[in-house]
Homo-oligomer: A and B are copies of this chain.
Amino acid sequence: MTSSPTPTKRRDAARTRQALLEAARARFASDGYAATTVRDIADDAGVNVALISRYFSSKEGLFEACLTTAADDFHRSTGATTLNEVPERIAEQAAGIDSDGVPRYLVLLLRSSGDARADEIRIGMLRTFAERLAALAGWEEGDDRLLLRAQVTIAAALGIALLRSTTTLEPLRSATKEDLLSPVTDLITAILGNRA
């Protein structure tokens, strides 16, 4: 073999930082904050525990960093343009939870660490998410009725994602994006669709 077993075993702060971040996001999303130990994360990332404190100051700091990157992913992957596209987006986000592990940021939104600052980030994401969704449905500031409906929609999506990722409830667990599309579409158009 010409390539070494691990392509990059060389020292690279940015790379190990990233490895820690990804391992942490996976653990925090699937097990929650309190049930995840820093040694679990370090082992998953294949590095030493002490590096968590070095790069992120603390476990809380690492969690905040996870939320921040999750917010970035979220802003990047939810550039939905029209209300019609929303159901498909949500369906594929909720469906993809356990495949490539892509949208773990969804479940992270429901994981609290008890830390005030982390919770602010979390709620901030939820708030902008809701306002963006409401805007697609014709929301203008002050209309609490429609904003509530957007938040209910998000709560529903998060509930689906969480239930799929933390239980073995069938057929929900194994439902594909196509399976979810129909009920999710009905759900969203009913809540946000053409209002009277």
Contacts and interface: CB of A to CB of B under 8 A. Distances in A.
A119 interface: yes
A189 to B, nearest CB: 7
A191 B190 CA distance: 9
A127 B171 CA distance: 10
A32 B31 contact: no
Interface in A82-120: 110, 112, 114, 119
A147 B152 CA distance: 22
A92 to B, nearest CB: 15
A100 B81 CA distance: 41
* Copies, count: 2
A42 interface: no
Contact of A147 (B33, B171, B186, B187): B171
A160 B171 contact: no
A1 interface: no
A179 interface: yes
A32 B183 CA distance: 29
Interface in A142-172: 144, 147-149, 151-152, 154-160, 162-164, 166-169, 171-172
B159 A175 contact: no
Contact of A151 (B130, B172, B190): B172
Interface of A: 31-35, 110, 112, 114, 119, 122-123, 126-127, 130, 144, 147-149, 151-152, 154-160, 162-164, 166-169, 171-172, 175, 179-180, 183-184, 186-187, 189-191
